[in-house]
């Protein structure tokens, strides 16, 4: 089992650089940078990380072919691969519907768009001149002027068809989930080939003090519950009434500053369903369950811990060695 860390570029670049180096020094194999237009640009951050790190693999976790043309994605990730001495990985998927709508992009035909984009990117990275007549993309003789070698492609996928596609055309998949029930559901939809990397990215919070770990993950869990499809809530026995209470508490927390009420609305069962949180021993047990299901990379997602630096060191010292 490899470990990765997901980082949102919503903090200063020097902080991301520091966390990435710290993650590398503490045994993480992958650093994944999320991509939304309103945060710092993922590829620019990856260029900085390419120079700040030596061993860890670095990639978008994930970009999408709706807000960046596949040729530009190919050129950008090939540049990161060149800068990092061949350590780039490309995470790509449909993109967040609501974020894309804010910039006037209608996420039509997400499956077809991702499928065609990945084919185009692979061919460009191989140095081909690409003629392509798809439903979404039309290319007439596009070719990169440089080559920087192979870049593994991971597909961020939740839906059954996207999961299947990921295993058909990707080198790996990134599944956003925490609970074995959700991870099992996702894995059942894959048709993985030899060497295919099944990565799971979970809301994560670790601390030697269980209460600190739990308190600290509540806001992240509230966001997950708020946008969770009802069939997933049902899978975990969470009723719509308590999910709606979280939705309204989340709104009040942002508009009126009622953070204490938000923390009260997030139940233990929600934390159990939508995060991996607790003491090192508790989280090890949960990650072991995922490993048994076939997960080959565990990606530590936000918030990581109350103090991110301490949490990364704790993971490096007490958690990663258990999976060596
Ligand atoms: N989104 C971001 O914008 N930025 C990120 O940094 C990010 C990170 C991330 C990490 C892991 C991960 O798993 C997801 C992540 N996401 C991120 C979210 C991601 O971009 C997607 O929003 C999310 O994964 C949900 O997409 P999905 O994989 O469930 O696919 C959706 C779009 C879906 O509807 N899939 C269906 C399915 O069954 O899988 C397929 C739909 C389909 O078949 N569509 C047809 C087609 O051709 O596309 C058209 C159907 C028709 O008639 O219209």
Q: What is the pLDDT along the chain (324 residues), one digit of tens a residue?
A: 999 999 999 999 999 999 999 999 999 999 999 999 999 999 999 999 999 999 999 999 999 999 999 999 999 999 999 999 999 999 999 999 999 999 999 999 999 999 999 999 999 999 999 999 999 999 999 999 999 999 999 999 999 999 999 999 999 999 999 999 999 999 999 999 999 999 999 999 999 999 999 999 999 999 999 999 899 999 999 999 999 999 999 999 989 998 999 999 999 999 999 999 999 999 999 999 999 999 999 999 999 999 999 999 999 999 999 998
Name, in order, each residue with C-beta under 8 angstroms of 268's C-beta and a sequence gap of 6 or more.
Answer: none
Residue 235's pLDDT is: 93
Q: What is the pLDDT of residue 49?
A: 98
The number of the ligand 1 atom at minimal distance from the alpha carbon of 175 is: 13
Residue 59: phi and psi, rounded to 5, are -165, 175
The minimum-distance atom of ligand 1 relative to the CA of 94 is 20
Collapsing DSSP to helix, strand or coil, 6 comes out as strand
Q: Which of 162, 167, 166, 187 is nearest to 177 (CA)?
A: 187
pLDDT number for residue 38: 96
For residue 58, give every residue at least 6 positions away whose Cβ sits within 8 Å of its Cβ, in sequence order, or none.
Answer: 20, 30, 31, 33, 46, 49, 50, 80, 84, 87, 88, 89
| CA atoms 304, 266, 292, 176: torsion sign | negative
Coil, helix or strand at residue 178: coil
The pLDDT value given to residue 206: 98
Domains of the chain: 2-207+279-323 (3.20.20.30), 209-274 (no CATH)
This prediction's pTM = 0.97
Structure tokens at 283: 């989280």
Nearest CA to ligand 1 atom 30: 159
The ligand 1 site (C-beta within 6 Å) comprises 34-36, 61-62, 64, 93-96, 99, 109-112, 156-162, 174-176, 201
The DSSP bridge partners found for residue 204 are: 276, 303
Ligand 1 pocket: which of 156, 167, 297, 301 to mutate (most atoms within 8 A of CB): 156
Atom of ligand 1 nearest to the CA of 91: 10
Atom of ligand 1 at shortest distance to CA of 111? 48
Torsion on CA atoms 134, 136, 187, 235, rounded to nearest 10: -150
pLDDT at 299: 98
pLDDT at 62 (0 to 100): 97
Whose Cα sits closest to atom 6 in ligand 1?
34
């Amino acid at each position: 089992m490899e470990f990765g860390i997901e980082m949102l570029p919503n903090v200063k670049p020097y902080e991301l650089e520091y966390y990435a180096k710290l993650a590398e020094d503490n045994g993480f194999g992958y650093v994944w940078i999320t991509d939304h237009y309103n945060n710092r640009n993922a590829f620019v951050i990856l260029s900085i990380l390419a120079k700040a790190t030596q061993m860890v693999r670095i990639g978008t976790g994930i970009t999408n072919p709706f807000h960046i043309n596949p040729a530009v994605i190919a050129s950008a990730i090939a540049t990161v691969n060149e800068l990092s001495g061949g350590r780039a990985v490309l995470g790509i998927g449909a993109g967040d519907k609501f974020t894309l709508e804010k910039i006037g992009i209608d996420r039509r035909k997400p499956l077809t768009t991702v499928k065609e984009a990945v084919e185009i990117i692979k061919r460009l990275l191989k140095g081909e001149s690409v003629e392509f007549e798809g439903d979404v993309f039309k290319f007439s003789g596009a070719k990169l002027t440089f080559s920087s070698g192979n870049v593994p492609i991971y597909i961020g996928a939740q839906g059954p068809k996207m999961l299947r596609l990921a295993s058909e055309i990707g080198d790996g998949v990134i599944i956003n989930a925490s609970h074995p029930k959700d991870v099992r559901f996702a894995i059942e939809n894959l048709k993985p080939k030899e060497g295919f990397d099944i990565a799971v990215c979970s809301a994560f919070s670790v601390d030697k003090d269980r209460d600190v770990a739990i308190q600290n993950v509540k806001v992240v869990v509230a966001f997950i519950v708020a946008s969770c499809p009802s069939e997933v809530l049902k899978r975990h026995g969470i009723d719509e009434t308590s999910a709606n209470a979280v939705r309204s508490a989340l709104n009040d927390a942002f508009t009126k500053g009622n953070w204490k009420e938000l923390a009260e609305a997030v139940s233990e069962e929600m934390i159990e369903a939508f995060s991996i949180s607790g003491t090192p021993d508790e989280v090890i047990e949960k990650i072991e369950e995922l490993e048994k299901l076939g997960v080959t990379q565990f990606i530590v997602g936000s918030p990581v811990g109350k103090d991110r630096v301490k949490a990364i060191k704790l993971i490096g010292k007490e958690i990663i060695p258990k999976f060596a």
